[in-house]
Structure 1
């Protein structure tokens, strides 16, 4: 699927949902400034052309406080700051995108043009090793959702980052 195909497919998938209006270019720039990286183009287009949050398998967090909270956070700024733990910070450019419940999050790497996806799942090991790359771009990840192959729980193809973790 091309990015254009994905945008159309996501729009069709959420057409019957009462989602916020699309974000503004200023809202996108504000997040990019906070993260210090440009947003991957497909994600930018989704926010600008589909909605300011609420689309995707577990409802993408809004860029701004739209009044529709799609996680325990009002917006992506709050989610990003909540993950900015000085003792175990996220790698630069990794941004929380979707609250999957049970302390699990889907995250996206703003440093990659195709938006490589990451997983935060402390229940698989421990807090220190909760973050792991999925080895999927945002496009691949959304395609799994659109085709109904997105897992509800832990990702079966998640890359293990700490095979020697005592909790593993």
Structure 2
């Protein structure tokens, strides 16, 4: 069994046994047609591991804190889905050029207070970013949470994420690509 298969098995076991806030049950996985529709709407492919989470484990409802967002359709608690949230964030960034939303950065989990965990779908390994809009300016709102989605999932499984009480002094580095990606976003 490959490392990714082992990781998916661990995530699936945890997903079956725990519910994030607001999720009464684990939603069924999506089908390949839903992933294809999401990618068509987004205009870019999902990283393979992210697609596998939706295809094999569930349409959101597992993961740290509030859990993974559903892919296309919102959840019963009213939380938006990843694709509509991305589209809304991009539109908001077009209306307010001081707060651009970088192309290809898909919100995957809501932390509350407007904060999102996001996957950079343009990075080779699916860098996971933290968007923290309570900063005084956009270039101080984007942090690298994990170098890739697999690492982000492992920190959740192992209880070592920055959001854990035992790790509340963790400092995340600013996302160094934001200035470049924001400039490209403003130009598009």
By the TM > 0.5 criterion, same fold? yes
Deviates more, 1:131-140 or 1:90-99: 131-140
TM-score by length of 1: 0.83
Q: Is the 8 A contact 2:125 2:148 kept in 1?
A: yes
CA change 1:67–1:135 in 2 (3 A) is: closer
Q: Is the 8 A contact 1:41 1:113 kept in 2?
A: no
- Report the counterpart of residue 47 of structure 1 in structure 2: 54
Counting only pairs closer than 5 Å after superposition, residues 14-93 of structure 1 correspond to structure 2 as 14-16=15-17, 17=19, 18-58=25-65, 59-65=67-73, 67-69=75-77, 72-73=79-80, 75-84=81-90, 85-86=93-94, 87=97, 88-93=99-104
Residues 79-125 of structure 1 deviation map (CA, whole Å, 9 limit, x = unaligned): 11221120233222111111011221100011124211111012344
SS at match of 1:78: helix
**Structure 1 stretches of 4+ moved >6 Å:** none
TM-score by length of 2: 0.75
SS at match of 1:81: helix
Higher helix share: 2
Unaligned runs of 5+ in 2: 20-24, 177-188
CA distance in 1, matches of 2:32, 2:141: 32
CA distance in 1, matches of 2:112, 2:9: 27
- Report the counterpart of residue 110 of structure 1 in structure 2: 121
After TM superposition, give the deviation of residue 132 of structure 1 in Å: 2.8
Q: Is the 8 A contact 2:100 2:138 kept in 1?
A: no
CA distance in 1, matches of 2:29, 2:146: 28
CA change 1:66–1:124 in 2 (3 A) is: closer
Aligned length: 160
CA change 1:123–1:67 in 2 (3 A) is: closer
Residues 41-93 of structure 1 deviation map (CA, whole Å, 9 limit, x = unaligned): 11111100000111211311101326444x631x1122112211202332221
CA distance in 2, matches of 1:121, 1:99: 11
CA distance in 2, matches of 1:127, 1:112: 20
- Report the counterpart of residue 165 of structure 1 in structure 2: none
What is the root-mean-square deviation in Å for CA atoms of aligned residues? 2.4
After TM superposition, give the deviation of residue 14 of structure 1 in Å: 1.4
Q: Is the 8 A contact 1:93 1:110 kept in 2?
A: yes
SS at match of 1:152: coil
